[in-house]
Amino acid sequence: MKITVAGEKKEVADGLTVSALIELENVETPQYVTVSVNEEFVDSEGFESTVLREGDEVEFLYFMGGGR
Amino acid sequence: MAFTNEQLERYSRHIILKEIGAKGQKKLLNAKVLIIGAGGLGAPAALYLAAAGVGTIGIADADVVDLSNLQRQVIHTTNDIGKRKVDSAAETMRAINPDVTVNTYYDFVSSVNIMDMIKDYDFILDGTDNFPAKFLINDACVMAKKPLSHAGIIRFKGQLTTILPGEGPCYRCIFKNPPPKDAVPTCKQAGVIGAMGGVIGSLQAMEAVKYITGVGELLSGYLLTYDALKMEFHKIKLPPRGKGCAVCSDTPTITELIDYEQAACDMKAH
């Protein structure tokens, strides 16, 4: 199926979960990433159980603590 | 208040813009912006806001200028090493534009001082380098209903969002709590490309100017990310405000400011 990850279209396996996508995308500090699917945040407890569907738009939001 | 001839010339490139005009420039001259952190983000933001004629600029920082700051903190010079950052920044801003009144706060923000610090300002700009400060500033701005430009930078990446309390989502809508100390790298540990502060800090200044003058659309409800290596900007649409947010929902569970433990970064005892 086709999904969009951070604005980029990708072909992924049917039934892919959010946690599997996190692994596939080599997300840095995966335990602290915020994930949105179709402009809704997914609770981190729901990463395992959230199955992605064709056309889903996924975003990863990262902590960025620098500034000074 | 009428413009002096000098002001008409100084701000001519603003005044000629139909979106700004004399009216917008007057709004800038009457505006008060607080910049928290006189470093990578705060330095370029302060330079542009002073040049733009923002009438009152507050600058807060409890650090002194260090040689390792000069790679990115463009408001300070080699001669400023050892000076308080707020004094060095204030000198530069006054030298750029004598129209600007600069208030300095030689202090780290905490639950004790932040409400008093932000209360007289129209717009707050977060240029701090640690999560406890970023969460504190977010919560204080939500509670005091102060518009805020939040930003973060690391390595070749940066991001920002504009928080309009009561209207759009806040920082805590995205991230519920700060990460544990040292779980996410800081600039000191991971490095940051100097111009990143320039890119993101200038965007923060742009949001402040747009908010003050009422021009265009603010970055509320979006997180804008910038990846310098890929040379990509990406605008992430955020869910609406408050849905279960501990601080900005209509039934908040956080109603008092929290001083989280400071991360190791550059925190020095003062």
How does DSSP assign B71-105, residue by residue? TT-TT--GGGTTSBHHHHHHHHHHHH-TT-EEEEE
Interface check for A29 against chain B (CB to CB < 8 A): the answer is yes
CA distance linking residue B99 with residue B29, whole number of Å? 8
Largest CA distance in chain A: 44
Which pLDDT score, from 0 to 100, does residue B263 have?
52
Tell me the CATH number at A44: 3.10.20.30
Partner residue facing B154 (CB), from A34, A61, A66:
A66
Best of B84, B138, B175, B260 to disrupt the A interface (most A CBs within 10 Å) is B175
Q: Is there a domain that residue A56 lies in?
A: yes
Total domain count for chain A?
1
Distances in Å between the Cα of A11 and the Cα atoms of A20, A44, B171, B191 are 14, 24, 32, 34
pLDDT tens, residue by residue, B79-115? 999 999 999 999 999 999 999 999 999 999 999 999 9
**Measured between CB atoms, does A45 come within 8 Å of chain B?**
no
Judged against a pLDDT cut of 70, whether residue B228 lies above it is answered with yes
Cβ contact B127–A63 (<8 Å)? no
Question: pLDDT at position B261, please?
Answer: 82
> How far is Cα B26 from Cα B136, in angstroms, rounded to an integer?
32
Residue A67 in any domain: the answer is no
- pTM given for the model: 0.95
* Region B5-10 average pLDDT: 98
How many CB atoms lie under 10 A from the CB of residue A52? Answer: 22
Q: Does residue B47 have a pLDDT over 90?
A: yes
Chains A, B: CB contacts under 8 A, how many? Answer: 89
Name the minimum distance, in Å, from the CA of B142 to any CA of chain A.
Answer: 19
CA distance linking residue B142 with residue A32, whole number of Å: 23
In a domain, A57, yes or no: yes
Contact between B11 and B25 (Cβ < 8 Å)? yes
Whether B33 and B9 have beta carbons less than 8 Å apart is answered as no
Instruction: Give the structural domain span for A58.
Output: 2-62
ipTM of the complex: 0.95
Would you call B223 an interface residue with chain A, using a CB distance cutoff of 8 Å?
A: yes
Query: Is residue A35 assigned to a domain?
Result: yes
Q: Which residue has the tokens 């390595």?
A: B155
Answer whether residue A8 is part of any domain: yes
A38 interaction partners in chain B (CB closer than 8 Å): none
In a domain, A68, yes or no: no
